[in-house]
Every structure is written in structure tokens, then in C-alpha cells.
Amino acid sequence: MAGIVNWSELWKISIAGHRHRRQNEDLVKTWDNRAQRFNERAMRHTEMTNKQIAKMHLEPDYTILDLGAGTGRLSIPIAKKVKSVTAIDQSGGMLALLKENMRKEGMDNITCLQKRWEDVVIGQDIEPHDVVIASHSLGMLDLQESLAKIDAAAKRYVYISTGLGSWMNRDDRDVKFQKDIFGQNDRHHGWHWDYILLYNILHDMKIYANVEIDDSESEHCYDDLDDAVKSWSEMQDIPPDKTDVLKEHLVKILKCNGDGKLCYRHTSKDVLIWWQRDGKSELR
């Protein structure tokens, strides 16, 4: 029966708990600090990027809105196929690298807007676009409100990429590592990282989206153990007093490749949630 579970409120509870643990953190500054390393990793994932783009309906005359665009992993290759892209991100550091990546590619059809999606006003900051994309970027407290705005900002299609289950492989070593780092109630077990909450919120909004689930595999390589420790500490919010635990875990999982790098192969489930708009551009 519909309505027994308030999925939107469940999302808020999950996100609120996560934010409470990071209440003293300036998230914009955090992503600014991560931007360079994030860019180095993200722009290497060409296979994953190509798979994502291949599932999108894109036409040469389309305008695209990339929500949480980061350094342009999707914005830049998509801009080569369409009329224009608007890249929105709250991090100025991320957008600065996106502009640098644009210059390297000789591109001029991407407009950058530094703003939180919650603060964007349709009709003032942006106009509706043919397609709206959000790839692993929906961490808003009021997800239902943000999804309504995403739907209103799209004239034709919406594509949301998210995850299923944990970000780790979830073998015994991963489980032990997470418990050692974050404790029994570590944030990576939270429901808010799984696609099903998002899908159920959309269903309650009478947006009956399509869902496609694929296996995904990526490899992350580091110059040496110290480089790996620094990267994981930055990207996974490892507490400074847990560095020795992190180092011990990395020694177990990193393998040398033929180029003298230490590499970690990550497997996961990627979820694409998408729907076709009804032609109306108004908040539900």
C-alpha cells in the first residue's frame, strides 16, 4: 500500500545523521581541496563515462544541464555532441579545473555556474534545458524538493546516476576495515547511498522512472603507499587518528602493476534512473 513509508522523511533522517557527523565541515572548502585529485581520477574513467553517455538520448541541438558537474567528466564529452552544456557545482575549485579542461579541449559551449542546486532559481539563474543530468551528486537534505526542481528544469529527459549498496566490494576485509575506521554505525552502511530510496521518492511524486543496473569495475592507481594513504584520507574522510589502520588495509589490497604503480580494483553496481518529461516545465 502506498503511503505506509514516508520515503522523503526517511531520506532526511539518513542524510541528517550523516551531516551531523560533519557539522563543523565546510563542504565547499572540502571539495575545493579535493578538486585536483578528484580531477586526476575522474578524467581517467573514460570507459565508464562512455557507457553512461551511450544510454542518454542526446541530439545536436539539445541543451544539457549537468548538476554537480565536478571537473567536467561528463560535461566535456557531452558538449562535443550537443548545442551547449550548463555545468553547475558548488565548488569553485572544481569549476576552475573544468574550465582548464575546456581550454585543453578547445571548447567554448559550456557555461559554468557556481551554486548549490538548492539555491538555484529556475527562470532566474537558469532556464529549462532539454536534458538534465545528475551523476552521483544528489546529497541534498530535501531530496524530494530537489527532484521536483530537476524535473521542472528538464524539457525532455532526466538522467540520474547513483549507486546500489556500499561503495566498497563488501568482502570480509572491507567490512572489517569500515568497522575499524568508522565503528559499527559507519556512514557507508546508510540507506541514503542506495538507489531505492531515490526511486521510491520519485514514485511517490508520480514520476515512474526507468531503472537500469549494471556491474561496474574501475581501477585506482597510486605512485606509492604514501600517495594512496593521502588519496584515501582525502576522498573517503578517514580520521587522522586512523591513518595506521588505513595503511594496514591498503598494504593488503593494493597490487603492483606493470608500470610500477600500486593499484586497487573497485567493483560496484551502477544504477541509472531516467525518465522522459511530459513537455511541461513547472514545479510539481
Please write the tens of the pLDDT for every residue from 105-120.
Answer: 999 999 999 999 999 9
Does 260 map to a domain?
Answer: no
pLDDT computed for residue 108 by the predictor: 95
* pLDDT tens digits along 167-192: 444 555 666 777 777 665 444 444 44
Q: State the total domains in the chain.
A: 1
Calpha distance 132→268 (Å, rounded): 24
For the cut 80, the answer to whether the pLDDT of residue 266 exceeds it is: no
Range of the domain at 55: 7-172+179-219+267-276
Does 75 map to a domain?
Answer: yes
pLDDT (average), residues 77-86: 98
Does 262 map to a domain?
Answer: no
Cβ atoms of 90 and 70 within 8 Å: the answer is: no
Does 41 map to a domain?
Answer: yes
pTM strictly above 0.85: no
Calpha distance 68→164 (Å, rounded): 19
Does 194 map to a domain?
Answer: yes
* pLDDT tens digits along 140-149: 889 999 999 9
Does 16 map to a domain?
Answer: yes
* pLDDT tens digits along 184-223: 544 444 444 678 999 999 999 999 999 999 987 777 888 8
Average pLDDT score over the chain? 84
Calpha distance 191→199 (Å, rounded): 12
Give phi and psi for 206, each to the nearest 5. 65, 30
Does 254 map to a domain?
Answer: no
**Beta carbons within 8 Å of 113's beta carbon, 6+ residues apart:** 86, 87, 88, 89, 120, 125, 126
Give the confidence band of 282 by pLDDT, cuts at 50, 70, 90: very low
**Beta carbons within 8 Å of 149's beta carbon, 6+ residues apart:** 117, 120, 122, 283
> In terms of C-beta density within 10 A (0-12 exposed, 13-18 middle, 19 or more buried), how is residue 172 classed?
exposed
DSSP readout, 41-109? HHTT-HHHHHHHHHTS---TT-EEEEET-TTTTTHHHHHTTSSEEEEEES-HHHHHHHHHHHHHHT---
| Higher pLDDT among residues 38 and 116, named by residue | 116
Does 255 map to a domain?
Answer: no
Q: What CATH number is given to the structural domain containing 58?
A: 3.40.50.150
Calpha distance 195→161 (Å, rounded): 9
Cβ atoms of 229 and 250 within 8 Å: the answer is: yes
pLDDT computed for residue 1 by the predictor: 43
